[in-house]
Amino acid sequence: MAREDIEFTAQGTTLHGWFYPAEGATGEAPCVVLQHGFSGVKEMYLDSYAELFQAAGLACLVYDHPGFGASDAVPGCPRLEIDPWQQVRFVQHAITYAQSRPEVDAERIGLWGSSYAGGHALVVAGIDRRVKAVVSQVPPVSGSMAFKELIRIDRWAEMDAVFAAERRARLAGAEPSMLPVVTTDPAGAAALPTPDAYEWCTTTAQQRAPEWRNEVTLLSMEFLRGYEPGRWAPLIAPTPLLMIVAPLDRLADGQLATQVYEEALHPKKLVLIPGGHFDAYHGPGFECSAPPARDWFVEHLLDKRV
């Protein structure tokens, strides 16, 4: 089935995305809201997940976070700044928009997030009871631990000074300092300084998302350090939670994610997939990650009314 280009406005900001009507639906259908991680944009394989869910009878709403891809930035905020709590609020706005559509059953909303947005999925499911089923894929569950893993230990004190100086400069009216998302330089500064991140981001951007930008604001990393989405996992129940984790993930620690899963309450399910952080999006990894997510939403949104 065809998808529809959509836009919706919240907090004075217009977000752009796609709406996929549920295949075979004769009335209101459940809807899954999908969002990407970190600096990712919707063209980076979110359509693959939405098409699979759509074919199972689920409507889907896919969109770009504020200031990324086709979406506008929040007034007063720069583009390419990753503020996780701002993104969490806009997940909730996206749910509201999905509920407003006549094709959607407002009482059957699912939430899917991958990577950084896998963390957002945990938070939103823990605070917003409109979510009736949630899938969190390869989430970084602790920003403080991720920061320590991504930034060399001998630079931690230096980064404190850099963040403080950046805040002073921006208060004085300076343009935000930018940081590459990925780099080929082993000693270079980047938000995601791993070889698999560089390979996936640049290859995927070249093939599918030419408007993706290899930069984020410097303060995005300070915001990451203070973000602890795993702490919300125990608050998700009784909403059904599926976590899809790669134990060998070396960007968003897969073993730490499984520990967070153990802290969540039932109903819940854990699916372990092979490969690293980026292998879930295509090829054999997609065949391991996407069907379990589809089946989770079918079981909890389509097979029964809630």
Q: What is the pLDDT of residue 304?
A: 66
What average pLDDT does this structure show over 211-234?
97
Name the helix (H) or strand (E) containing 205: helix 195-207
Q: Which residues, other chains included, contact 151 with Cβ-Cβ below 8 Å and sequence gap of 6+?
A: 159, 221
Instruction: Report how far residue 90's alpha carbon sits from residue 106's, in angstroms, rounded to the nearest whole number.
Output: 17
Instruction: Report how far residue 264's alpha carbon sits from residue 288's, in angstroms, rounded to the nearest whole number.
Output: 22
Judge whether residue 217 has pLDDT over 70: yes
Q: What is the pLDDT of residue 155?
A: 82
Residue pLDDT, tens place only, 249-303: 989 999 999 999 999 999 999 999 999 999 999 999 999 999 999 999 999 999 8
Q: Crossing angle for the helix pair 283-297 and 46-55, nearest 10 degrees?
A: 40
For the chain, the domains span: 4-144+227-302
Residue pLDDT, tens place only, 9-35: 999 999 999 999 999 999 999 999 999
Instruction: Report how far residue 197's alpha carbon sits from residue 186's, in angstroms, rounded to the nearest whole number.
Output: 12
Residue pLDDT, tens place only, 131-170: 999 999 999 999 999 999 888 788 888 999 999 999 999 9
* CATH architecture of the domain with range 4-144+227-302: 3-Layer(aba) Sandwich (3.40)
Query: Which residue is associated with the tokens 């009878």?
Result: 57
pTM: 0.97
Contact 181, 191 (CB under 8 A): yes
Judge whether residue 40 has pLDDT over 90: yes
What would you measure as the largest C-alpha separation in the chain, in angstroms?
Answer: 60
Instruction: Report how far residue 198's alpha carbon sits from residue 213's, in angstroms, rounded to the nearest whole number.
Output: 13
Q: Which residues, other chains included, contact 103 with Cβ-Cβ below 8 Å and sequence gap of 6+?
A: 21, 22, 25, 28, 29, 31, 59
